[in-house]
Amino acid sequence: MSTHDAERSAPIGVGRARQNAIYRPGALGVAPTVPTDALELERRARRAMSRRAWAYIAGGAGGGATMRANREAFDRWQVIPRMLHATTERDLSTRVLGTDLASPVLLAPVGAAGLVSDEADLQIARGAHASGVPYVFSCQGCSPMEETAQEMAGTPFWYQLYWSTDEQLVDSMIGRAEAAGAEALVVTLDTTMLGWRTQDLDLGSLPFARGQGIAQYTSDPRFMAMVRERVAAAARAGARGAEALGLDPRRPVDLVRAAKGGAGTVVSMSREHPGGLRANLRSAEPRAAVETFLDIYSNPGLSWEHIATLRERTSLPVVLKGVLHEDDARRALDSGVDAIVVSNHGGRQVDRSIGALDALVRIRAAIGPEPTVLMDSGVRSGADLFIALALGADACLLGRPHVYGLALDGAAGVSAVIDNVVAELDLTMGLVGTASIADITRELLIEG
Ligand code: FNR
């Protein structure tokens, strides 16, 4: 076969196919709903979101230095493309922990996405399925995992767990994730408490306090047993006053504000709670569910001893998310977990912490090439993916960008964001001269 024949018979690849899908309607004057440029995507999504949603989704810890560090870490690396390599076909597929990936991308767990859109988790799942990308369901999801699993329609998914202070709830959630068909259990380590999130604090806005993002809990039998106990105990103790809401009854301004805002909160809690809105408005349960959640959410006492119990508690591969120090990475792998996610939670937890890509480099150097390492925090494009893979990531999680896609165009927006990132990875691979994920190596980069 001549070189020309080979070119004609080669598939065009996902990158060129995506370009065609955008340029063809473009020629007729139709621009894409979801921008391909990451900053423009963010800008347009901001306009489509409420202030509360924007604060929660885009916000970070403190002054935002960690979020900046995440991007600056990428900016320090540059690709050196090779020429005349005749790379006509690329294979973006890979396998991570027994899950087959069409490309080295999964959707990161993102809680309280209901701030952005109705049925947020279901729409994200539909978008992930449409693009054939696995989704890591959040423990702070807005739909029960069983319902989100249905929408994945056979595309693999993993389940992310926040370790509760209630051990029975931990077991219950793991059991449900297994039964629903999750292919791995991701335990997030970095959020044993919420970070100091200035944007949310300045709006006094915590989605969970309004019942948003607690659907994995309100659909859980163990959790609901605790809620019912609480309702019964409150009934025995009698009604509680404004102090219970953290308000000062001596400040009339607080009470007026609370009367206005409180009505919205009660409606929000009642809307989010399982069952009908009318019945919920008359019931003490939605409010008790929020309070129970706030009591048992995450566990500041989480330690290596807890992690050691996982092997007996699940047969799923276990992934620890939020590892940043090489000693923690070593210890995680020594303790028998199957993989780690190098992540600083998108800069939402500790301000002025190490950029996730910088941590990836240090961790890969410490643990060698074998262990499975994923990374997230700051991945915005196919070129970013290329750099993370070259520096030792086996795959990356895509966080905020997919939520911006959701804000702009629902499930189709999620899918568009994934397709754009994967298209750019494919084109970068083709232009640089890498035919497979394994070909993407450190030798193709310089630190600038
Ligand atoms: C998150 N993240 C997260 N992680 C997790 O393990 N469980 C969760 O429920 C959430 N919730 C959540 C909500 C929102 C709005 C964001 C932006 C992030 C962290 C997430 O999985 C991932 O680590 C970051 O999003 C990565 O950073 P970038 O790339 O989005 O900046």
Give domain limits for the chain.
13-196+301-447, 215-296
How far apart (Å, rounded) are the C-alpha atoms in residues 283 and 270? 8
CA 416 to chain centre: 17
Reply yes or no on whether the pLDDT at 247 is more than 70: no
**Residue 377 Cβ < 6 Å to ligand 1:** yes
Distance (Å) of CA 384 to CA 178, 378, 389, 396: 32, 8, 9, 10
Question: Using a 6 Å cutoff on CB, does residue 200 contact ligand 1?
Answer: no
pTM: 0.95
What band does 448 get if pLDDT is binned at 50, 70 and 90? confident
C-beta separation of 148 from 219 below 8 A: no
CA 282 centroid distance within chain: 34
Q: How far apart are CA 50 and CA 116, in angstroms?
A: 8
- Rounded alpha-carbon distances, angstroms, from residue 134 to 104, 105, 107, 339: 10, 8, 6, 16
Please say if the pLDDT value at position 272 is more than 70. Answer: yes
Rounded Cα gap, residues 107 and 395, in angstroms = 11
For residue 263, the model assigns a pLDDT of 83
Model confidence at 1: pLDDT above 50:
no
Residue 432: CB within 6 Å of ligand 1? no
Going from the Cα of 377 to the center of ligand 1, the distance in angstroms, rounded, reads 8
| Residue 344 CA to ligand 1 centre (angstroms) | 9
**Of all helices (H) and strands (E), which one includes residue 137?**
strand 135-137
Both structure tokens of 84: 């005349």
Q: How far apart are CA 88 and CA 85, in angstroms?
A: 9
Residue among 347, 351, 398 at smallest CA distance from 376: 398
Residues 6+ apart with CB under 8 A from 427: 13, 15, 16, 19, 382
Tell whether the model's pLDDT for residue 312 goes beyond 90: yes
Query: 398: CA distance to ligand 1 center in Å?
Result: 9
263-267, 384-388, 401-405 — which is least confidently predicted?
Answer: 263-267
pLDDT band at 2 (very low <50, low <70, confident <90, very high): very low
Give the 3-state secondary structure of residue 236: helix
Torsion of CA 342, 348, 350, 353, to 10 degrees: 50
Helices (H), 283-325: 285-296, 304-308, 310-313
Among the residue ranges 65-74, 273-282, 338-347, the one predicted with the least confidence is: 273-282
Task: Tell me the CA–centroid distance for residue 20 and ligand 1, in Å.
Answer: 32
CA distances (Å), 38 to each of 71, 405, 447, in order? 12, 10, 23
- In whole angstroms, give the CA distance from residue 72 to residue 223: 42
Q: What is the mean pLDDT of residues 44-49?
A: 98
Rounded mean pLDDT of 379-385?
98
Looking at residue 5, what is its pLDDT?
53
Q: How far is CA 218 from CA 244, 253, 266, 274, 298, in A?
A: 22, 33, 16, 7, 16
Q: How high is the pLDDT of residue 151?
A: 98
Confidence of residue 293 (pLDDT cuts 50, 70, 90): very high
> Whose C-alpha lies nearest to ligand 1, atom 1?
110
Q: Is 59 in the pocket of ligand 1 (CB under 6 A)?
A: no
Please tell me what DSSP assigns to residue 436: B
Using a 6 Å cutoff on CB, does residue 109 contact ligand 1? yes
Atom 16 in ligand 1: residue holding the nearest Cα: 110
Q: Which has more pLDDT, 261 or 107?
A: 107
For residue 322, name the pLDDT band (cuts at 50, 70, 90): very high
Quote the mean pLDDT of the chain. 94
What's the gap in Å between 382 CA and the centre of ligand 1? 19
Distance 376 CA to ligand 1 centre (A): 9
What is the distance in A from the centroid of ligand 1 to the CA of 371?
23
The answer on pLDDT for 243 being more than 90 is no
Q: What is the mean pLDDT of residues 294-304?
A: 96
Please work out whether the CB of residue 343 comes within 6 Å of at least one atom of ligand 1: yes
Work out the average pLDDT over 211-221.
98
Question: Is there an atom of ligand 1 within 6 Å of 406 CB?
Answer: no
Q: Does the pLDDT of residue 340 top 60, yes or no? A: yes
With bands split at pLDDT 50, 70 and 90, how would you rate the model's confidence at 245?
very low
Which atom number of ligand 1 is nearest to the Cα of residue 322? 23
Per-residue model confidence (pLDDT) at position 256:
59
What is the DSSP code string of 26-57? HHTT---SS-SSHHHHHHHHHHHS-HHHHHHH
* 345 CA closest ligand 1 atom index: 23
Ligand 1, closest atom to CA 108? 21
Q: Is the CB of 56 under 6 A from ligand 1?
A: yes
- Residue 29: exposure state from Cβ atoms within 10 A (0-12, 13-18, ≥19): exposed
- Residue 391 has what pLDDT? 99
Regarding the beta carbon of 103 and ligand 1, being less than 6 Å apart is answered no
Among residues 42, 53, 22, 37, which one has the least CA distance to residue 401? 42
**Could you give the CA distance from residue 354 to residue 49 in angstroms, rounded to a whole number?**
29
Overall average pLDDT of the 223-238 stretch:
93
pLDDT of the residue at 396: 99
Distance CA 201, CA 45 (A): 21
Residue range 13-196+301-447 forms a domain whose CATH class is alpha beta
Which residue has the CA at smallest separation from atom 5 of ligand 1?
Answer: 109
Give the pLDDT mean for 213-218: 98
pLDDT, tens digit, 9 for 90 and up, residues 81-133: 999 999 999 999 999 999 999 999 999 999 999 999 999 999 999 999 999 99
Active site residues: 345
Q: What pLDDT sits at residue 140?
A: 98
